[in-house]
Structure 1
Amino acid sequence: MPENSTNKQVWLITGAGRGLGTDLACSALAAGHAVIATGRDPEQVAAALGTHADLLTARLDVTRPEEAQAAVQAAVDRFGHLDVLVNNAGNFYAGFFEELSPEQVRSQVETLLFGPMNVTRAALPVMRAQRSGLVITVSSTAGINGQTFCSAYAAAKFGVEGWMESLTPEVAPFGIKTMLVEPGFFRTELLTQGSTTYAEPHLDDYADKTREIVAAWNRMNGQQPGDPAKLAEALISLAALDVPPFRFVAGADAVETFEQKAQELLTQANAHRALSSSLALDPA
Protein backbone atom coordinates (compact mmCIF):
# COMPACT_ATOMS: atom_id res chain seq x y z
CA MET A 1 0.00 0.00 0.00
CA PRO A 2 1.20 3.57 -0.59
CA GLU A 3 2.82 5.42 2.29
CA ASN A 4 -0.18 7.76 2.51
CA SER A 5 -2.67 4.91 2.87
CA THR A 6 -5.22 5.17 5.63
CA ASN A 7 -7.61 3.03 7.60
CA LYS A 8 -10.39 5.56 7.05
CA GLN A 9 -13.33 4.49 4.94
CA VAL A 10 -12.76 5.95 1.50
CA TRP A 11 -15.72 7.21 -0.54
CA LEU A 12 -15.73 8.15 -4.22
CA ILE A 13 -18.75 10.28 -5.11
CA THR A 14 -19.73 11.32 -8.62
CA GLY A 15 -21.63 14.52 -9.32
CA ALA A 16 -20.32 16.08 -6.11
CA GLY A 17 -20.38 19.69 -7.26
CA ARG A 18 -23.99 20.32 -6.27
CA GLY A 19 -27.18 18.84 -4.87
CA LEU A 20 -27.15 15.45 -3.19
CA GLY A 21 -23.54 14.84 -4.22
CA THR A 22 -22.34 17.86 -2.26
CA ASP A 23 -24.42 16.89 0.77
CA LEU A 24 -23.09 13.34 0.63
CA ALA A 25 -19.49 14.52 0.48
CA CYS A 26 -20.01 16.85 3.43
CA SER A 27 -21.75 14.15 5.47
CA ALA A 28 -19.06 11.57 4.72
CA LEU A 29 -16.32 13.98 5.75
CA ALA A 30 -18.21 14.89 8.93
CA ALA A 31 -18.48 11.18 9.75
CA GLY A 32 -14.70 10.88 9.59
CA HIS A 33 -14.38 9.32 6.16
CA ALA A 34 -12.08 10.29 3.32
CA VAL A 35 -13.74 11.50 0.12
CA ILE A 36 -12.82 11.69 -3.53
CA ALA A 37 -15.40 14.20 -4.78
CA THR A 38 -15.70 14.25 -8.55
CA GLY A 39 -17.50 16.18 -11.24
CA ARG A 40 -17.15 17.38 -14.79
CA ASP A 41 -15.94 20.72 -13.38
CA PRO A 42 -13.52 20.04 -10.51
CA GLU A 43 -13.33 23.77 -9.73
CA GLN A 44 -17.08 23.77 -9.07
CA VAL A 45 -16.64 20.74 -6.80
CA ALA A 46 -13.83 22.45 -4.88
CA ALA A 47 -15.88 25.64 -4.54
CA ALA A 48 -18.85 23.68 -3.19
CA LEU A 49 -16.83 21.69 -0.65
CA GLY A 50 -13.91 23.89 0.33
CA THR A 51 -10.74 22.28 1.67
CA HIS A 52 -10.33 19.34 4.03
CA ALA A 53 -7.39 17.11 4.88
CA ASP A 54 -9.38 14.04 3.84
CA LEU A 55 -10.83 15.53 0.66
CA LEU A 56 -9.54 15.04 -2.87
CA THR A 57 -11.35 16.60 -5.82
CA ALA A 58 -11.00 15.18 -9.31
CA ARG A 59 -12.42 15.65 -12.78
CA LEU A 60 -14.81 12.92 -13.81
CA ASP A 61 -17.22 12.98 -16.71
CA VAL A 62 -18.90 9.62 -16.15
CA THR A 63 -19.40 9.12 -19.88
CA ARG A 64 -15.61 8.88 -20.30
CA PRO A 65 -14.23 5.51 -19.13
CA GLU A 66 -10.66 6.82 -19.04
CA GLU A 67 -11.67 9.53 -16.56
CA ALA A 68 -13.38 6.93 -14.39
CA GLN A 69 -10.18 4.87 -14.36
CA ALA A 70 -8.14 7.95 -13.50
CA ALA A 71 -10.45 8.93 -10.61
CA VAL A 72 -10.30 5.45 -9.08
CA GLN A 73 -6.52 5.39 -9.46
CA ALA A 74 -6.29 8.81 -7.79
CA ALA A 75 -8.30 7.46 -4.86
CA VAL A 76 -5.99 4.48 -4.44
CA ASP A 77 -2.85 6.61 -4.86
CA ARG A 78 -4.02 9.09 -2.23
CA PHE A 79 -5.75 6.85 0.32
CA GLY A 80 -4.62 3.31 -0.50
CA HIS A 81 -8.03 1.74 -1.00
CA LEU A 82 -11.64 2.40 -2.02
CA ASP A 83 -14.54 1.34 0.17
CA VAL A 84 -17.69 3.07 -1.09
CA LEU A 85 -18.57 4.20 -4.60
CA VAL A 86 -21.59 6.47 -4.97
CA ASN A 87 -22.95 6.69 -8.52
CA ASN A 88 -24.80 9.98 -8.16
CA ALA A 89 -24.07 12.07 -11.25
CA GLY A 90 -27.05 12.66 -13.50
CA ASN A 91 -29.13 14.91 -15.71
CA PHE A 92 -32.65 14.92 -17.14
CA TYR A 93 -33.97 15.01 -20.69
CA ALA A 94 -37.70 15.71 -20.36
CA GLY A 95 -40.38 15.58 -23.00
CA PHE A 96 -42.74 13.41 -24.95
CA PHE A 97 -40.97 10.52 -26.63
CA GLU A 98 -41.91 11.62 -30.14
CA GLU A 99 -40.39 15.05 -29.51
CA LEU A 100 -37.17 13.84 -27.91
CA SER A 101 -34.49 13.45 -30.55
CA PRO A 102 -32.62 10.14 -30.88
CA GLU A 103 -29.48 12.02 -29.84
CA GLN A 104 -31.15 13.24 -26.64
CA VAL A 105 -32.36 9.76 -25.75
CA ARG A 106 -28.91 8.30 -26.37
CA SER A 107 -27.31 11.05 -24.31
CA GLN A 108 -29.70 10.36 -21.44
CA VAL A 109 -28.89 6.66 -21.40
CA GLU A 110 -25.19 7.39 -21.84
CA THR A 111 -25.12 9.51 -18.68
CA LEU A 112 -27.56 7.67 -16.42
CA LEU A 113 -26.82 4.05 -17.34
CA PHE A 114 -23.49 3.73 -19.10
CA GLY A 115 -22.00 6.43 -16.86
CA PRO A 116 -22.45 4.46 -13.62
CA MET A 117 -21.34 1.34 -15.48
CA ASN A 118 -18.10 3.07 -16.49
CA VAL A 119 -17.28 4.14 -12.95
CA THR A 120 -18.30 0.84 -11.39
CA ARG A 121 -16.24 -1.09 -13.93
CA ALA A 122 -13.24 0.98 -12.88
CA ALA A 123 -13.88 0.47 -9.16
CA LEU A 124 -14.67 -3.25 -9.07
CA PRO A 125 -11.11 -4.57 -9.59
CA VAL A 126 -9.97 -2.59 -6.54
CA MET A 127 -12.89 -3.83 -4.45
CA ARG A 128 -12.42 -7.42 -5.62
CA ALA A 129 -8.76 -7.31 -4.63
CA GLN A 130 -9.77 -6.02 -1.21
CA ARG A 131 -12.62 -8.55 -0.96
CA SER A 132 -14.80 -5.70 0.28
CA GLY A 133 -16.68 -2.65 -0.93
CA LEU A 134 -20.08 -1.06 -1.37
CA VAL A 135 -21.51 0.27 -4.64
CA ILE A 136 -24.33 2.76 -4.06
CA THR A 137 -26.24 3.78 -7.17
CA VAL A 138 -28.77 6.58 -7.08
CA SER A 139 -31.75 5.51 -9.16
CA SER A 140 -35.21 7.07 -8.93
CA THR A 141 -38.85 6.20 -8.48
CA ALA A 142 -38.83 6.71 -12.27
CA GLY A 143 -36.87 3.45 -12.38
CA ILE A 144 -39.80 1.72 -10.69
CA ASN A 145 -42.75 3.46 -12.30
CA GLY A 146 -42.64 5.22 -15.66
CA GLN A 147 -44.59 8.40 -16.22
CA THR A 148 -45.55 10.94 -18.87
CA PHE A 149 -42.73 13.21 -20.08
CA CYS A 150 -40.06 10.91 -18.60
CA SER A 151 -39.62 8.22 -21.26
CA ALA A 152 -35.87 8.68 -21.78
CA TYR A 153 -35.15 9.23 -18.09
CA ALA A 154 -37.24 6.24 -17.01
CA ALA A 155 -35.71 4.02 -19.70
CA ALA A 156 -32.25 4.77 -18.32
CA LYS A 157 -33.31 4.34 -14.68
CA PHE A 158 -35.15 1.08 -15.41
CA GLY A 159 -31.88 -0.06 -17.00
CA VAL A 160 -30.01 0.86 -13.82
CA GLU A 161 -32.42 -1.27 -11.79
CA GLY A 162 -31.91 -4.36 -13.95
CA TRP A 163 -28.15 -3.87 -14.12
CA MET A 164 -27.78 -3.58 -10.34
CA GLU A 165 -30.09 -6.53 -9.67
CA SER A 166 -27.91 -8.63 -11.96
CA LEU A 167 -24.57 -7.28 -10.77
CA THR A 168 -25.32 -7.88 -7.09
CA PRO A 169 -25.06 -11.70 -7.09
CA GLU A 170 -22.03 -11.52 -9.39
CA VAL A 171 -19.94 -9.51 -6.94
CA ALA A 172 -21.33 -10.80 -3.62
CA PRO A 173 -18.84 -13.72 -3.47
CA PHE A 174 -16.04 -11.14 -3.28
CA GLY A 175 -17.47 -9.30 -0.29
CA ILE A 176 -18.86 -6.46 -2.44
CA LYS A 177 -22.33 -5.18 -1.58
CA THR A 178 -24.68 -2.94 -3.52
CA MET A 179 -27.46 -0.50 -2.67
CA LEU A 180 -29.96 1.16 -4.96
CA VAL A 181 -31.33 4.48 -3.74
CA GLU A 182 -34.85 5.32 -4.92
CA PRO A 183 -35.55 9.01 -4.20
CA GLY A 184 -38.86 10.70 -4.74
CA PHE A 185 -38.84 14.48 -5.17
CA PHE A 186 -35.94 16.10 -3.31
CA ARG A 187 -34.97 19.75 -3.36
CA THR A 188 -31.92 19.35 -5.58
CA GLU A 189 -30.98 21.02 -8.88
CA LEU A 190 -32.54 18.32 -11.06
CA LEU A 191 -35.32 20.61 -12.35
CA THR A 192 -33.07 23.61 -12.92
CA GLN A 193 -31.94 24.73 -16.36
CA GLY A 194 -28.46 23.40 -15.65
CA SER A 195 -29.73 19.85 -15.20
CA THR A 196 -32.97 19.59 -17.20
CA THR A 197 -33.17 19.78 -20.98
CA TYR A 198 -36.65 19.93 -22.47
CA ALA A 199 -37.46 18.46 -25.86
CA GLU A 200 -38.09 21.08 -28.52
CA PRO A 201 -41.90 21.22 -28.94
CA HIS A 202 -42.91 20.72 -32.55
CA LEU A 203 -46.03 18.54 -32.56
CA ASP A 204 -49.36 20.28 -32.02
CA ASP A 205 -50.93 17.20 -30.45
CA TYR A 206 -48.58 17.50 -27.48
CA ALA A 207 -48.39 21.29 -27.23
CA ASP A 208 -51.02 21.95 -24.56
CA LYS A 209 -49.86 19.13 -22.30
CA THR A 210 -46.23 20.17 -22.72
CA ARG A 211 -46.97 23.71 -21.55
CA GLU A 212 -48.94 22.34 -18.61
CA ILE A 213 -46.21 19.96 -17.46
CA VAL A 214 -43.33 22.41 -17.89
CA ALA A 215 -45.23 25.07 -15.95
CA ALA A 216 -45.99 22.61 -13.15
CA TRP A 217 -42.36 21.48 -12.91
CA ASN A 218 -41.13 25.08 -12.92
CA ARG A 219 -43.44 25.76 -9.99
CA MET A 220 -42.19 22.63 -8.22
CA ASN A 221 -38.52 23.58 -8.66
CA GLY A 222 -37.28 24.71 -5.26
CA GLN A 223 -40.43 23.46 -3.55
CA GLN A 224 -39.77 19.71 -3.55
CA PRO A 225 -40.54 18.16 -0.15
CA GLY A 226 -37.42 16.04 0.30
CA ASP A 227 -34.34 17.33 2.15
CA PRO A 228 -31.15 16.13 0.39
CA ALA A 229 -29.07 16.75 3.53
CA LYS A 230 -31.28 14.31 5.45
CA LEU A 231 -31.00 11.80 2.62
CA ALA A 232 -27.23 12.12 2.71
CA GLU A 233 -27.18 11.45 6.46
CA ALA A 234 -29.45 8.44 5.97
CA LEU A 235 -27.11 6.98 3.34
CA ILE A 236 -24.07 7.43 5.57
CA SER A 237 -25.91 5.49 8.29
CA LEU A 238 -27.09 2.75 5.95
CA ALA A 239 -23.62 2.32 4.44
CA ALA A 240 -22.30 1.56 7.93
CA LEU A 241 -24.62 -1.43 8.37
CA ASP A 242 -23.18 -4.93 8.06
CA VAL A 243 -25.99 -5.66 5.62
CA PRO A 244 -27.11 -2.49 3.83
CA PRO A 245 -30.52 -2.69 2.14
CA PHE A 246 -30.45 -3.64 -1.51
CA ARG A 247 -33.03 -0.92 -2.13
CA PHE A 248 -33.56 2.15 0.01
CA VAL A 249 -36.86 3.89 -0.69
CA ALA A 250 -36.21 7.58 0.00
CA GLY A 251 -39.13 9.83 0.85
CA ALA A 252 -42.78 9.35 1.76
CA ASP A 253 -43.75 9.94 -1.87
CA ALA A 254 -41.34 7.19 -2.93
CA VAL A 255 -42.87 4.76 -0.43
CA GLU A 256 -46.29 5.50 -1.92
CA THR A 257 -44.97 4.90 -5.44
CA PHE A 258 -43.51 1.54 -4.41
CA GLU A 259 -46.74 0.46 -2.76
CA GLN A 260 -48.83 1.43 -5.80
CA LYS A 261 -46.43 -0.33 -8.18
CA ALA A 262 -46.43 -3.50 -6.09
CA GLN A 263 -50.22 -3.57 -6.15
CA GLU A 264 -50.30 -2.95 -9.89
CA LEU A 265 -47.92 -5.85 -10.51
CA LEU A 266 -50.03 -8.19 -8.39
CA THR A 267 -53.17 -7.08 -10.23
CA GLN A 268 -51.51 -7.66 -13.59
CA ALA A 269 -50.21 -11.09 -12.52
CA ASN A 270 -53.70 -12.15 -11.50
CA ALA A 271 -55.63 -10.53 -14.36
CA HIS A 272 -55.24 -13.49 -16.75
CA ARG A 273 -53.78 -16.08 -14.40
CA ALA A 274 -55.52 -19.07 -16.04
CA LEU A 275 -54.38 -18.06 -19.53
CA SER A 276 -50.88 -17.20 -18.33
CA SER A 277 -50.57 -20.60 -16.66
CA SER A 278 -51.83 -22.58 -19.66
CA LEU A 279 -49.00 -21.91 -22.10
CA ALA A 280 -46.76 -24.90 -21.44
CA LEU A 281 -46.11 -27.44 -24.18
CA ASP A 282 -48.60 -30.30 -24.13
CA PRO A 283 -47.19 -33.66 -22.99
CA ALA A 284 -45.88 -35.78 -25.82
Structure 2
Amino acid sequence: MGNQRKTWFITGASQGIGLILAKQLLAAGYNVAATARNADTLRKAVDNDTPQFLPLQVNLVDEKSVGEAVNKAIAQFGGIDYLVNNAGFGLIGGIEETTDAEVRNSFDINVFGLLNVTRAVLPHMRAAQSGHIFNMSSVFGLISGGGWGVYCGTKFAVEGITEALAQEVKPFGIHVTIAEPGYVRTNFLSSGSIAHPAHPIAAYVALEEERRKHREDVPGTQVGDPEKVAAAIISLSQMIEPPLRVLMGSDALQFANYKIQLLQEGIAANKAMTLSTDFS
Protein backbone atom coordinates (compact mmCIF):
# COMPACT_ATOMS: atom_id res chain seq x y z
CA MET A 1 0.00 0.00 0.00
CA GLY A 2 1.55 3.30 -1.06
CA ASN A 3 2.09 6.29 1.18
CA GLN A 4 -0.67 8.11 -0.72
CA ARG A 5 -3.18 5.74 0.87
CA LYS A 6 -1.98 6.40 4.39
CA THR A 7 -3.51 9.31 6.26
CA TRP A 8 -2.18 11.17 9.27
CA PHE A 9 -4.26 13.35 11.58
CA ILE A 10 -2.09 15.82 13.51
CA THR A 11 -3.24 18.31 16.14
CA GLY A 12 -1.38 21.53 16.87
CA ALA A 13 0.27 21.62 13.46
CA SER A 14 0.74 25.34 12.86
CA GLN A 15 4.18 25.46 14.49
CA GLY A 16 6.90 23.41 16.13
CA ILE A 17 7.12 19.65 15.85
CA GLY A 18 3.58 19.35 14.50
CA LEU A 19 4.32 21.67 11.59
CA ILE A 20 7.63 20.01 10.78
CA LEU A 21 6.04 16.56 10.91
CA ALA A 22 3.22 17.66 8.58
CA LYS A 23 5.73 19.00 6.05
CA GLN A 24 7.87 15.85 6.16
CA LEU A 25 4.82 13.64 5.68
CA LEU A 26 3.50 15.65 2.75
CA ALA A 27 6.93 15.55 1.12
CA ALA A 28 6.91 11.76 1.52
CA GLY A 29 3.53 11.44 -0.20
CA TYR A 30 1.21 10.87 2.74
CA ASN A 31 -2.21 12.45 3.24
CA VAL A 32 -2.22 14.92 6.13
CA ALA A 33 -5.22 16.30 7.98
CA ALA A 34 -3.91 18.91 10.38
CA THR A 35 -5.59 21.03 13.03
CA ALA A 36 -4.93 24.43 14.51
CA ARG A 37 -6.86 27.16 16.28
CA ASN A 38 -6.69 29.20 13.06
CA ALA A 39 -6.93 27.46 9.68
CA ASP A 40 -5.45 30.40 7.75
CA THR A 41 -2.35 30.44 9.94
CA LEU A 42 -2.00 26.69 9.47
CA ARG A 43 -2.49 26.93 5.71
CA LYS A 44 0.21 29.60 5.39
CA ALA A 45 2.63 27.72 7.65
CA VAL A 46 2.35 24.44 5.77
CA ASP A 47 2.24 26.14 2.34
CA ASN A 48 0.88 23.15 0.44
CA ASP A 49 -2.18 23.50 -1.80
CA THR A 50 -2.34 19.88 -2.95
CA PRO A 51 -5.35 17.63 -2.23
CA GLN A 52 -3.06 15.65 0.10
CA PHE A 53 -3.34 18.41 2.71
CA LEU A 54 -6.48 19.22 4.67
CA PRO A 55 -6.16 22.17 7.10
CA LEU A 56 -8.78 22.15 9.83
CA GLN A 57 -9.74 24.87 12.30
CA VAL A 58 -10.62 23.05 15.49
CA ASN A 59 -11.45 23.85 19.09
CA LEU A 60 -10.00 20.82 20.83
CA VAL A 61 -12.06 21.27 24.00
CA ASP A 62 -15.29 21.19 21.98
CA GLU A 63 -16.28 17.60 21.18
CA LYS A 64 -18.54 18.72 18.33
CA SER A 65 -15.74 20.70 16.70
CA VAL A 66 -13.37 17.74 17.03
CA GLY A 67 -15.92 15.29 15.65
CA GLU A 68 -16.62 17.47 12.63
CA ALA A 69 -12.89 17.71 11.86
CA VAL A 70 -12.41 13.94 12.10
CA ASN A 71 -15.42 13.37 9.82
CA LYS A 72 -14.05 15.84 7.25
CA ALA A 73 -10.71 14.02 7.22
CA ILE A 74 -12.37 10.65 6.71
CA ALA A 75 -14.67 12.05 4.03
CA GLN A 76 -11.68 13.39 2.08
CA PHE A 77 -9.18 10.59 2.61
CA GLY A 78 -11.30 7.54 3.43
CA GLY A 79 -9.86 6.91 6.87
CA ILE A 80 -7.25 7.84 9.47
CA ASP A 81 -4.25 5.54 9.84
CA TYR A 82 -2.13 7.59 12.24
CA LEU A 83 -3.17 10.05 14.94
CA VAL A 84 -0.65 12.43 16.48
CA ASN A 85 -1.95 14.20 19.58
CA ASN A 86 0.59 16.99 19.47
CA ALA A 87 -1.33 20.10 20.57
CA GLY A 88 -0.37 21.48 23.94
CA PHE A 89 1.30 24.33 25.78
CA GLY A 90 3.53 24.88 28.78
CA LEU A 91 2.90 26.72 32.02
CA ILE A 92 5.73 27.98 34.23
CA GLY A 93 4.33 28.79 37.62
CA GLY A 94 4.26 27.59 41.18
CA ILE A 95 1.33 25.64 42.56
CA GLU A 96 0.31 28.54 44.82
CA GLU A 97 0.78 31.08 42.02
CA THR A 98 -1.49 29.45 39.44
CA THR A 99 -5.21 30.08 39.50
CA ASP A 100 -7.94 27.53 39.05
CA ALA A 101 -8.68 28.93 35.60
CA GLU A 102 -5.02 28.75 34.54
CA VAL A 103 -4.69 25.14 35.70
CA ARG A 104 -7.95 24.10 34.05
CA ASN A 105 -6.95 25.75 30.78
CA SER A 106 -3.72 23.75 30.76
CA PHE A 107 -5.51 20.45 31.41
CA ASP A 108 -8.23 21.34 28.89
CA ILE A 109 -5.76 21.42 25.99
CA ASN A 110 -3.03 19.04 27.11
CA VAL A 111 -5.29 16.30 28.49
CA PHE A 112 -8.98 16.74 27.70
CA GLY A 113 -8.30 17.88 24.13
CA LEU A 114 -6.18 14.77 23.60
CA LEU A 115 -9.00 12.63 24.96
CA ASN A 116 -11.58 14.31 22.73
CA VAL A 117 -9.58 13.64 19.58
CA THR A 118 -8.71 10.09 20.61
CA ARG A 119 -12.34 9.23 21.31
CA ALA A 120 -13.39 10.65 17.95
CA VAL A 121 -10.79 8.70 15.97
CA LEU A 122 -10.90 5.35 17.75
CA PRO A 123 -14.22 4.04 16.36
CA HIS A 124 -12.81 4.36 12.83
CA MET A 125 -9.54 2.65 13.76
CA ARG A 126 -11.42 -0.15 15.51
CA ALA A 127 -13.58 -0.66 12.44
CA ALA A 128 -10.44 -0.86 10.30
CA GLN A 129 -8.74 -3.15 12.86
CA SER A 130 -5.58 -1.07 12.51
CA GLY A 131 -4.06 2.26 13.39
CA HIS A 132 -1.32 3.91 15.40
CA ILE A 133 -1.79 6.68 17.95
CA PHE A 134 1.13 8.89 18.98
CA ASN A 135 0.66 10.92 22.14
CA MET A 136 3.23 13.67 22.49
CA SER A 137 4.24 13.70 26.12
CA SER A 138 7.64 14.83 27.39
CA VAL A 139 10.36 13.47 29.60
CA PHE A 140 8.61 15.77 32.07
CA GLY A 141 5.79 13.26 32.02
CA LEU A 142 8.23 11.12 34.03
CA ILE A 143 9.85 13.68 36.33
CA SER A 144 8.74 17.06 37.65
CA GLY A 145 10.42 20.14 39.05
CA GLY A 146 9.65 23.42 40.75
CA GLY A 147 7.70 25.80 38.52
CA TRP A 148 6.54 23.02 36.22
CA GLY A 149 4.09 21.17 38.46
CA VAL A 150 0.95 21.91 36.47
CA TYR A 151 2.55 21.29 33.06
CA CYS A 152 4.19 18.09 34.29
CA GLY A 153 0.89 17.11 35.88
CA THR A 154 -0.76 17.23 32.46
CA LYS A 155 2.00 15.11 30.96
CA PHE A 156 1.88 12.64 33.85
CA ALA A 157 -1.83 12.34 33.04
CA VAL A 158 -1.05 11.72 29.37
CA GLU A 159 1.38 8.97 30.35
CA GLY A 160 -1.15 7.18 32.57
CA ILE A 161 -3.96 7.52 30.06
CA THR A 162 -1.78 6.25 27.24
CA GLU A 163 -0.49 3.21 29.13
CA ALA A 164 -4.06 2.11 29.74
CA LEU A 165 -5.16 2.97 26.20
CA ALA A 166 -2.42 0.81 24.71
CA GLN A 167 -3.74 -2.21 26.59
CA GLU A 168 -7.37 -1.47 25.70
CA VAL A 169 -6.90 -1.13 21.94
CA LYS A 170 -4.28 -3.82 21.36
CA PRO A 171 -6.97 -6.47 20.60
CA PHE A 172 -8.11 -4.30 17.68
CA GLY A 173 -4.69 -4.15 16.04
CA ILE A 174 -4.11 -0.54 17.13
CA HIS A 175 -0.68 0.54 18.34
CA VAL A 176 -0.06 3.36 20.82
CA THR A 177 3.23 5.16 21.41
CA ILE A 178 4.20 7.85 23.92
CA ALA A 179 6.85 10.25 22.59
CA GLU A 180 8.97 11.75 25.38
CA PRO A 181 11.21 14.52 24.04
CA GLY A 182 13.54 16.56 26.17
CA TYR A 183 14.18 20.17 25.24
CA VAL A 184 13.64 20.58 21.48
CA ARG A 185 14.85 23.63 19.56
CA THR A 186 11.50 24.99 18.36
CA ASN A 187 9.76 28.27 19.15
CA PHE A 188 7.89 26.58 22.02
CA LEU A 189 9.51 28.81 24.65
CA SER A 190 9.31 32.03 22.64
CA SER A 191 5.79 31.76 21.21
CA GLY A 192 2.30 31.64 22.63
CA SER A 193 3.01 28.08 23.70
CA ILE A 194 4.23 29.08 27.18
CA ALA A 195 1.92 30.62 29.75
CA HIS A 196 2.82 32.42 32.97
CA PRO A 197 0.66 33.00 36.03
CA ALA A 198 -1.17 36.32 35.95
CA HIS A 199 -0.36 36.91 39.61
CA PRO A 200 3.18 35.71 40.43
CA ILE A 201 4.19 35.74 44.08
CA ALA A 202 7.39 37.66 44.81
CA ALA A 203 8.36 35.36 47.68
CA TYR A 204 8.99 32.55 45.20
CA VAL A 205 12.32 33.92 43.99
CA ALA A 206 13.44 30.64 42.43
CA LEU A 207 10.29 30.45 40.31
CA GLU A 208 10.86 33.89 38.83
CA GLU A 209 14.41 32.84 37.97
CA GLU A 210 13.02 29.71 36.31
CA ARG A 211 10.79 31.90 34.14
CA ARG A 212 13.67 34.23 33.29
CA LYS A 213 15.96 31.34 32.40
CA HIS A 214 13.41 29.79 30.05
CA ARG A 215 12.70 33.18 28.51
CA GLU A 216 16.30 34.32 28.03
CA ASP A 217 18.85 31.51 28.41
CA VAL A 218 17.31 28.26 27.16
CA PRO A 219 15.90 29.28 23.73
CA GLY A 220 18.41 28.40 21.03
CA THR A 221 20.41 26.03 23.24
CA GLN A 222 18.03 23.04 23.26
CA VAL A 223 19.81 19.84 22.20
CA GLY A 224 16.76 18.32 20.47
CA ASP A 225 16.52 18.66 16.69
CA PRO A 226 12.82 18.97 15.73
CA GLU A 227 13.47 17.65 12.22
CA LYS A 228 14.94 14.48 13.73
CA VAL A 229 12.10 14.18 16.24
CA ALA A 230 9.58 14.31 13.39
CA ALA A 231 11.58 11.79 11.37
CA ALA A 232 11.71 9.48 14.38
CA ILE A 233 7.92 9.53 14.65
CA ILE A 234 7.64 8.53 11.00
CA SER A 235 10.15 5.73 11.58
CA LEU A 236 8.13 4.49 14.56
CA SER A 237 5.02 4.37 12.37
CA GLN A 238 6.76 1.93 10.06
CA MET A 239 7.62 -0.59 12.79
CA ILE A 240 5.64 -3.84 12.95
CA GLU A 241 5.78 -3.79 16.77
CA PRO A 242 6.40 -0.18 17.85
CA PRO A 243 7.34 0.53 21.48
CA LEU A 244 4.94 1.96 24.05
CA ARG A 245 7.26 4.84 24.89
CA VAL A 246 10.36 6.40 23.40
CA LEU A 247 12.65 8.98 24.96
CA MET A 248 13.89 11.54 22.44
CA GLY A 249 17.11 13.39 23.16
CA SER A 250 20.21 12.87 25.30
CA ASP A 251 18.81 15.23 27.93
CA ALA A 252 15.60 13.20 28.07
CA LEU A 253 17.69 10.09 28.74
CA GLN A 254 19.54 11.86 31.57
CA PHE A 255 16.34 13.08 33.21
CA ALA A 256 14.72 9.64 32.94
CA ASN A 257 17.75 7.85 34.40
CA TYR A 258 17.82 10.35 37.27
CA LYS A 259 14.15 9.60 38.01
CA ILE A 260 14.87 5.86 37.96
CA GLN A 261 17.72 6.42 40.43
CA LEU A 262 15.47 8.44 42.74
CA LEU A 263 12.79 5.75 42.65
CA GLN A 264 15.23 2.93 43.32
CA GLU A 265 16.89 4.77 46.20
CA GLY A 266 13.57 5.76 47.74
CA ILE A 267 12.15 2.24 47.47
CA ALA A 268 15.24 0.71 49.07
CA ALA A 269 15.44 3.28 51.86
CA ASN A 270 11.80 2.79 52.84
CA LYS A 271 11.46 -0.95 52.21
CA ALA A 272 10.93 -1.78 55.89
CA MET A 273 8.09 0.72 56.20
CA THR A 274 6.59 -0.53 52.92
CA LEU A 275 6.49 -4.14 54.12
CA SER A 276 5.28 -3.18 57.60
CA THR A 277 1.85 -2.09 56.31
CA ASP A 278 0.70 -5.60 55.27
CA PHE A 279 -1.54 -7.69 57.53
CA SER A 280 0.65 -9.87 59.72
Q: TM-score, normalised by structure 1?
A: 0.93
Q: How far is the alpha carbon of 1:11 from its aligned partner? A: 0.2
Cα distance in 2 for residues equivalent to 1:211 and 1:202? 8
The answer (yes or no) to whether the contact 2:184–2:223 under 8 Å persists in 1 is yes
Q: Which amino acid aligns with 2:108?
A: E
Compute the RMSD of aligned alpha carbons.
1.4
239, 261, 264: which one pairs with 1:263? 261
Secondary structure at the counterpart of residue 171 of structure 2: helix
Distance 1:260-1:153 versus aligned 2 partners, 3 A rule:
same
Q: How many residues matched? A: 276
Secondary structure at the counterpart of residue 97 of structure 1: coil
Cα distance in 2 for residues equivalent to 1:185 and 1:123? 29
Q: How far is the alpha carbon of 1:189 from its aligned partner? A: 2.3
Cα distance in 1 for residues equivalent to 2:107 and 2:17? 20
75, 78, 90: which one pairs with 1:77? 75
Distance 1:86-1:202 versus aligned 2 partners, 3 A rule:
closer
Cα distance in 2 for residues equivalent to 1:53 and 1:111? 28
Asked if 1:229 is matched to 2:217, the reply is: no
Asked if 1:38 is matched to 2:19, the reply is: no
Match of 1:116 in 2: 114
Unaligned runs of 5+ in 2: none
91, 94, 112: which one pairs with 2:92? 94
Cα distance in 1 for residues equivalent to 2:4 and 2:55? 19
Q: Deviations over 1:183-229 (max 9, x none)?
A: 100012221241111113443311x3233222211121233221111
136, 160, 163: which one pairs with 1:138? 136
Match of 1:52 in 2: 50
Secondary structure at the counterpart of residue 82 of structure 1: coil
Secondary structure at the counterpart of residue 204 of structure 1: coil
Match of 1:165 in 2: 163
Q: How far is the alpha carbon of 1:68 from its aligned partner? A: 1.3
Q: TM-score, normalised by structure 2?
A: 0.95
Asked if 1:18 is matched to 2:28, the reply is: no
Distance 1:271-1:12 versus aligned 2 partners, 3 A rule:
same
Cα distance in 2 for residues equivalent to 1:25 and 1:218? 27
Match of 2:203 in 1: 205
